[in-house]
Amino acid sequence: MSLSSFPNVAILKHTSIKEAFMVSKHSLTLKKRHNVLFSSSMESEDEEAPVADKPKTHDSKKLPYTKFSQQELPTIKPLMTPKWIVSMFLLLGFTYIPIGIVILIISNSMIEISFNYGAACIMNYSSPSNPLNTNNEMSNFMQNVNNPKTCNVSINVPKNMKNPVYVYYQLENFFQNHRRYSKSRSDKQLCGTSLKIGDLDVCKPQDSINNVEIVPCGMIAWSLFNDTFDFSTSNGPIVVDRGGISWLSDREEIFSSFVFPSNFPNNNVYGNSSQFIGGGKLNPNVSLNANEDFIVWMRTASSPKFRKLWGKIDNDINPGLVFVNITNQYNVYNFGGAKKLVLSTRSWIGGKNAFLGGAYVVVGALCVVLGFTFAMVHWRNPRPLGAIAYLSWTRKFEDSDN
């Protein structure tokens, strides 16, 4: 390798020089000898050239020549021109505003009636002897099993509510997404795998009572919402359809049809105490997937203010008073929570929620404003596209020239 790469200009054999010298002995041979010397060196160069060329063509084929490897893939380079940007913002604005308006109209056409029965009911039980002014007093009242818990309220329905009307209960300041709480469930157990105490560590401290495992374990199940509502109008009772309020997929796959509640601490503080704190009961004879209230409750909410579906009313509700008979058992008083009953119609966009439509309108309007601003700025102060003269170094050069 190294030898061949040497510039062997002088591969002149000893003899050839002698010959050359012999020739030179004759007169007028100067030029001739030059030719000999020269041509021999030329030859050696000529010989080298093809040797160097051969592997070249061979090797350059080895380099993968693709558009990708040479970074020459065809490209599109979007350039932000005023025309594009202005029309884009205007287009976006004029698309978003109407969408927002439509959503707002739909949302506003929803009729939603919300009633804070938690506060109203507890006041019903208040008496001079038992004032129930503080959270603790209310909570203590709720925790006594013997206290009366029913309460009648009437709700005014201002407009005709078309069926189906959804009945929700809304809890506020209730942290279903608290880390301790939201993890405290065993999906394996819920779907039918029989688990022993040791496998239920996720449910702690609500995993067992007297060394017998709880089914369903965990704090979510244990804190099941248990208020009930009876609706009626002056024309008679309103039928509430309590079926189909949970997700079909939950009923079919997540909650088992052959797991029945057992050893469930119905309503009791830590299971065996007689103290009533306000939590749900589970009927040991009803399988988990048949108890839709339970399934709905087990879908934990993402924020501390949430609604859960309680039932559906398949008839229109005419304007007027709706009377509700409530068993107000669920204790949200000690942490200052609120309980509301919500009657609402629903559209394809969901219930009444002004945020989405409002945001669309605002954003669309801002887009339009931006579009017009950019158009104005461009109109007042047009910018030519780039030119070499704008480059800083070119400019400096020009300056120094002038």
Partner 1 sequence: MKRLVYVNDSDITAGVFCSNKISNTKYNLLNFLPKNLWEQFGRFMNKYFLLIACLQLWPLITPVNPASTWGPLIFIFAVSASKEAWDDYGRYCLDKQANERSFWVVKQGVKTQVQAQDILVGDLVWLHENDEVPCDLVLMGTSEALGLCHLETSALDGETDLKTRVAPLPCIGLNSELLLKLKGVIECPDPDKDIRRFDANLRLFPPFTDNDFSPITINNTLLQSCYLRNTEWACGVAVYTGNETKLGMSKGLPEPKVTAADGMVDKLTGALFAFQLVVVLILGVAGNTWQSYEADKMWYVRYPKVSRWYDFLVIPLRFELLCSIMIPISIKVSLDLAKSLHSKYVDWDVQMYDSVTCTPAVATNTAITEDLGQIEYILTDKTGTLTDNVMVFKRCCIKGVYYGAGTGDALTDPELVRAVMEKVPEVIKFLMVMAMCNTVTPCKSAGRALFYKAQSQDEDALVQAAAQLQVLLCSKMGSVVEVSLLGEVLEFEILDTLEFTSERKRMSVVVRERGTGALQLLTKGADETVFPTLCSDQQVRPIADAIDRYSQLGLRTMCLAWRDLEENEYAAWSLKFKEASMSLMDREWKIAEVCQLLEKNLELLGATAIEDKLQEGVPETISTLRNAGINFWMLTGDKHSTAVQIALACNFILPEPEGQLLQVQGRSSNEVRISLERVLRTLRITGTEHKDVAFVIDGLALELALKYHYEAFTELAMLSKTALCCRVTPFQKAQLVELVKSCDYRTLAIGDGGNDVKMIQEAHVGVGISGREGLQAARAADFCLGKFRFLKRLILVHGRYSYNRTAFLSQYCIYKSLVICFIQIFYSFLSGVSGTSLFNSLSLMAYNVVYTSIPVMVTAVLDKDIEEKSVLEHPEILYICQTGRLLNPSTFAGWFGRSLFHGAVVFLVTVNVYAYEKSEIAETSMVALSGCIWLQAFLVALETNSFTWFQHMAVWGNVVLFYLVNLLLNLVEHSGMYTIMFRLCSQPAYWLSLLLIVIIGMGPLLALKYFRVMYRPSTVNMLQRLEHQYTNSLSVETPTKSLDVSLSMTRTTFNHGSELGSVYEPLLLPETPTFQKKSGDSEASSDSVPSSPTRVTLPTYSRSKNK
User: Considering only residues 318-347, where is the footprint of partner 1 by CB under 8 A?
Assistant: 331, 334-336, 344
* C-beta closer to partner 1: residue 157 or 349: 349
Q: Decide if 186 contacts 196 (C-beta within 8 A).
A: no
| Of the candidate residues 120, 191, 197, 375, the single one contacting partner 1 (CB under 8 A) | 191
Closest separation between CB of residue 235 and partner 1, Å? 28
Asked if 380 is part of the footprint of partner 1 (rule: CB under 8 A), the reply reads yes
Q: Residue 400 has which token pair?
A: 């120094």
* Among the residue ranges 116-124, 173-181, 207-215, 311-319, the one whose residues contact partner 1 (CB under 8 A): 173-181
Over the window 242 to 281, marking each residue x when it contacts partner 1 by CB under 8 A and - when it does not, the resulting string is -----x-x---xx--------------x-------xxx--
* C-beta closer to partner 1: residue 236 or 382: 382
Binding to partner 1 (CB under 8 A): which residues in 279-308? 279, 299-308
Which amino acid does the sequence have at 305? K
Residue among 176, 188, 243 nearest 215 (CA): 188
Q: Residue 154 has which token pair?
A: 């009437």
* C-beta closer to partner 1: residue 285 or 388: 388
Closest separation between CB of residue 234 and partner 1, Å? 28
Binding to partner 1 (CB under 8 A): which residues in 73-102? 73-80, 82, 85, 88-89, 92, 96, 99
* Among the residue ranges 69-77, 156-164, 230-238, 314-322, the one whose residues contact partner 1 (CB under 8 A): 69-77
Q: How many residues bind partner 1 (CB under 8 A)?
A: 131
| Of the candidate residues 129, 146, 285, 400, the single one contacting partner 1 (CB under 8 A) | 400
In sequence order, what E strands does 83-183 have? Answer: 112-115, 150-157, 165-172
* Among the residue ranges 34-42, 146-154, 155-163, 314-322, the one whose residues contact partner 1 (CB under 8 A): 34-42
How do 320-327 and 306-313 pair as beta strands? unpaired
Determine the distance from the C-alpha atom of residue 107 to the mean position of all C-alpha atoms in its chain, rounded to a whole number. Answer: 23
* C-beta closer to partner 1: residue 96 or 231: 96
| Of the candidate residues 127, 196, 235, 385, the single one contacting partner 1 (CB under 8 A) | 385
CA end-to-end span of the chain, whole Å?
A: 58
Asked if 149 is part of the footprint of partner 1 (rule: CB under 8 A), the reply reads no
Kind plus residue range of the DSSP H or E element containing 231:
strand 228-233
Q: Decide if 315 contacts 166 (C-beta within 8 A).
A: no
* C-beta closer to partner 1: residue 9 or 321: 9
Determine the distance from the C-alpha atom of residue 203 to the mean position of all C-alpha atoms in its chain, rounded to a whole number. Answer: 27
| Of the candidate residues 113, 170, 208, 324, the single one contacting partner 1 (CB under 8 A) | 170
- H-state helical runs in 203-276: 219-222, 248-249
Full DSSP string of 311-356: EEE-S-B-SEEEEEEEE-----TTTT-EEEEEEE--BTTBSS-HHH
Asked if 379 is part of the footprint of partner 1 (rule: CB under 8 A), the reply reads no
Report the interhelical angle of 82-109 vs 354-380 (nearest 10°).
160
